[in-house]
Amino acid sequence: MTAAGRHLQALLSAADDPAEALAALLAAGGWEALGEADRRLVARSIDERRRAEPAAPVESDGWYAVRTADPAAVADEFGLAVRFPVTLRWGTAALYGDPDSLVFISPVLDGWTLVFDALSPGTASSP
pLDDT of the residue at 74: 92
Residues of the chain with pLDDT under 50: 121-127
Phi, psi of 66 (to 5 degrees): -120, 125
pLDDT of the residue at 118: 57
pLDDT of the residue at 70: 94
SS3 call for 116:
strand
pLDDT of the residue at 122: 45
Pair 92, 55: CB distance under 8 Å: no
pLDDT of the residue at 119: 53
Q: Rounded to whole angstroms, how far apart are CA atoms 127 and 123?
A: 9
pLDDT of the residue at 101: 63
Strand order in the sheet with 113-117: 63-66, 113-117, 103-105
pLDDT of the residue at 48: 79
